[in-house]
Amino acid sequence: MKLRMLASSLRLRLSRSEIDALGRGERIESSAHFPNGTVLTYAIAVSTDAETTASFAGNCIEVQLPAQVARAWALSDDVSLAAEQQTAGGSFSMLVEKDRSCLHPLVTPPLELP
């Protein structure tokens, strides 16, 4: 899973196996280990809530998708899910995407040299 952030927006890009696992209701998690020993974890999980939410606690960024939304998206041809959550400072935007490389396998013809 890839994480990108800009200001109050977050984008998670999932591989095919991660999409399948999310569709089964599994939590997907990745971590970045910094040289000073600090660990930043980011995750996506399903919930029983009706809304998509994001939180940051205990050095973990977590996006939670409603279970039905996660399951339907995993089985669909839709590439992304977008949501916004209101905060004290405005709004926080979330985008969850299927990694294009897992949608269309790269088939490259052999390179021919002159």
C-alpha 50/C-alpha 38 separation (Å) is 33
> Domain boundaries in the chain?
2-98
Pairing relationship of beta strands 39-47 and 28-33 according to DSSP bridges: antiparallel
In one-letter notation, the amino acid at residue 109 is P
Q: Is the separation of the CB atoms in 62 and 71 below 8 Å? A: no
CA–CA separation, 68 vs 46, rounded Å?
Answer: 9
Strand partners of residue 2: 13
The Cα 109–Cα 90 span in angstroms is 49
Q: pTM here?
A: 0.82
Per-residue pLDDT of the chain (114 residues; tens, 9 = 90+): 999 999 999 999 999 999 999 999 999 999 999 999 999 999 999 999 999 999 999 999 999 999 999 999 998 889 999 999 999 989 999 999 998 665 444 444 555 555
